[in-house]
Structure 1
Amino acid sequence: MKHFSTSGATLHYDDLGPESGLPVVLVHGHPFNHTLWAPQAKALAAAGHRAITPDLRGYGDSTVTPGKVLLSGFAEDLAALLDHLGLERAVIGGVSMGGQIAMEFQRRYAHRVLALILADTSPVAESEEGKAFRNSLADRLLSEGMAGYAAEVIDKMLAAYNVTALPDAADHVLTMMRTTDPEGAAAALRGRAERPDYRETLAAVTAPTLILVGADDVYTPVPDAESIRRLIPHATLAVIDGAGHLPGVEQPERFNAALLPFLAATVPAW
């Protein structure tokens, strides 16, 4: 992995494919790391694109910032990563919390977005109940660690049937969750609880946009993706069969079969 420093943290990232290729930044969700995107990074590089997959602040090998990290802070880190790489613009994508970070990046740096990829995510601000839950979960992770939480949510992160049908995928997801630093996870949870509503931001998007969702996602189900599609009329929506909240892990070939043609069709002049 490569690394750079910004705002008091050292952030790690992978950078695969030719430097001259279309830059595609893919942002993982909570509580994962850049390896979540390994199947996509490999496919993108093979297609001649440049796949950039960071470990967010507090996750993977990147520095933990205790307390609270707002989604705006994560978006600023992405902008700093682009600056570090000498990139004025890039395709920006993310899954779940990573999708919300992509929306925050769009809100702040729309001029830097070549195209937008939103997977299994929601643009709606957190409810009061949701805020209480995320802050309570942050407290729990700090006191108990990640193992119990990981065991409880694995059959929601993946479609329940894939926990046994896809043991390698389940092991990968569980390992990422269990090895995430609780302090980093808690800081992100507290920041995410304060996220703004992104529906107005999405309604103003002019960049090409791809929306993806697992057909059996219980966290952000297909109707949520369809609502994003209504906000961005020119967007493309792909429903990934045989997948839950992490279709890029559960069904990488189907996910990539939507991603690669989208990039070829909508950003052909790079």
Structure 2
Amino acid sequence: MSQTPESPPTYATHDSGWRRVQSLLPGHLQLGAANAPMPGEEWLDMGTFRVHLDCWRRPEAPATLVLVHGGGGNGRLLAPFGAMVASLGYEVVAPDLPGYGLTQVSDKRSLVYDDWRDTLAAVLETEAGRSRRPLVVFGASMGGMLAYDVTARTRLPVGLVSTCFLAPKDPEVRRRMVRWPWMSGLAGPMLTALPFLTDSLPVPMRLAGNMLAIANTPELARAIASDPLAGGTWMPGRFLRTFLESEPLVPPESFDVCPVLLTHPADDRWTNVSLSRPFFERLRVPKRLVLLENAGHFPVEEPGISQLRQALLDFLAERGAVVGATPAS
């Protein structure tokens, strides 16, 4: 990873909605607060993609946490979680997946869901090559299933954390994900039956998904949904079609890579925990479910955010990644 000579835009200089989102977070979660250090910004060249990453580098960290956003966010949206863990001595990396944030793509209309899998795999492989410290991956929203798939594919992480597991072929999951329930029976068949018409169409994510349920505070939800680098972006019909057609790369009964921690918001008004339980219960690896009290889909409320912090610390410690221990050389 290196800074590119073209000096591409960074969040430090880019005038986008992330500052508005930050201003609406609880004070202790805003970047620059006492326990919320600002990230550095790096780039990973990957074929036709130039992937932007928020990074909290800690040379002596016992583990690296990779944060994976979903369809309403970007790496910077997850900064409250990254800064929280980084302030405790861990290294954190949060990529912008293609189509979101500041990641550069040559042809956005050609994106497919496998581009997200390939990008996250490249990030994990690059981080594994930097050091021998343990890798833990944390997926939020639809990033949870993405993190699961890439964990199964690369077999690199020693732990998998997710806020939810959403199987896009499940009719109830589709009904809850879309903005209006009546869309669930139309969107999939239309995208599948007419790909020659719909694949290249730009679909605003705030219309495709129930973006106003991403946060329980209406003003915060509107800020995320209107951020052109997050919930206010568009994705091609081809990406949505391939996502809706996707299945887990490995059935949960066969997943054997690492333990799993599901930190599901208890007051999630977009994707209730009932949507995640069927997949989670089929897992046969050591696993734990923590319900984050009073927390919405984007879990920033107390006591849920403190419960998330403690659950992450416990999980990292269980993986042998304890701050103060000597990292592998």
Say whether the fold is shared (TM-score over 0.5). Answer: yes
Q: How do residues 239-258 of structure 1 correspond to structure 2 at under 5 angstroms?
A: 239-248=291-300, 251-258=304-311
Q: How do residues 191-206 of structure 1 correspond to structure 2 at under 5 angstroms?
A: 191-197=242-248, 200-201=251-252, 203-206=254-257
Do the aligned partners of residues 255 and 178 (structure 1) sit closer, same or farther apart at CA in structure 2, a change above 3 Å counting?
A: same
Offset of residue 239 of structure 1: 0.8
Distance 1:36 1:179 in 2: 8
* Selected match of 2:189 from 132, 135, 141: 132
SS of equivalent to 1:36:
helix
Q: How do residues 25-40 of structure 1 correspond to structure 2 at under 5 angstroms?
A: 25-40=66-81
* Selected match of 2:214 from 139, 157, 182: 157
Larger Rg: 2
Q: Which has the higher helix share?
A: 1
* Selected match of 1:18 from 29, 50, 58: 58
* Corresponding residue of 1:102: 147
Do the aligned partners of residues 144 and 109 (structure 1) sit closer, same or farther apart at CA in structure 2, a change above 3 Å counting?
A: closer
1:189 aligns with 2:236: no
Distance 2:288 2:88 in 1: 20
Offset of residue 254 of structure 1: 3.2
Is the contact made by 2:199 and 2:236 (CA closer than 8 Å) also made in structure 1? no
Percent of aligned pairs with the same residue?
23
Is the contact made by 2:67 and 2:94 (CA closer than 8 Å) also made in structure 1? yes
1:58 aligns with 2:99: yes
SS of equivalent to 2:251:
helix
Distance 2:202 2:318 in 1: 48
Summarize deviations over 1:218-243 as a string: whole Å, max 9, x none: 44322233323322242110111212
Larger relative contact order (Cα-Cα within 8 Å, sequence gap ≥ 6): 1
Q: Which runs of 5+ in 2 are unaligned?
A: 1-40, 172-183
Residue type of the partner of 1:104? D
Distance 2:97 2:310 in 1: 26
1:44 aligns with 2:96: no
Offset of residue 206 of structure 1: 4.0
Summarize deviations over 1:11-58 as a string: whole Å, max 9, x none: 100110403321111100013111221111111111111110000011
Distance 2:227 2:256 in 1: 32
SS of equivalent to 1:247:
coil
* Corresponding residue of 2:312: 259
Is the contact made by 2:203 and 2:234 (CA closer than 8 Å) also made in structure 1? no
* Corresponding residue of 2:19: none
Summarize deviations over 1:112-135 as a string: whole Å, max 9, x none: 121101212324635594623777
1:226 aligns with 2:293: no
Residue type of the partner of 1:92? V
Distance 2:230 2:271 in 1: 24
Distance 1:80 1:264 in 2: 26
Moved more, 172-181 or 78-87: 172-181
Residue type of the partner of 1:215? A
* Corresponding residue of 1:82: 124
Residue type of the partner of 2:118? E
Count of residue pairs the alignment pairs up: 260
Distance 2:244 2:223 in 1: 26
TM-score by length of 2: 0.67
SS of equivalent to 2:55:
strand
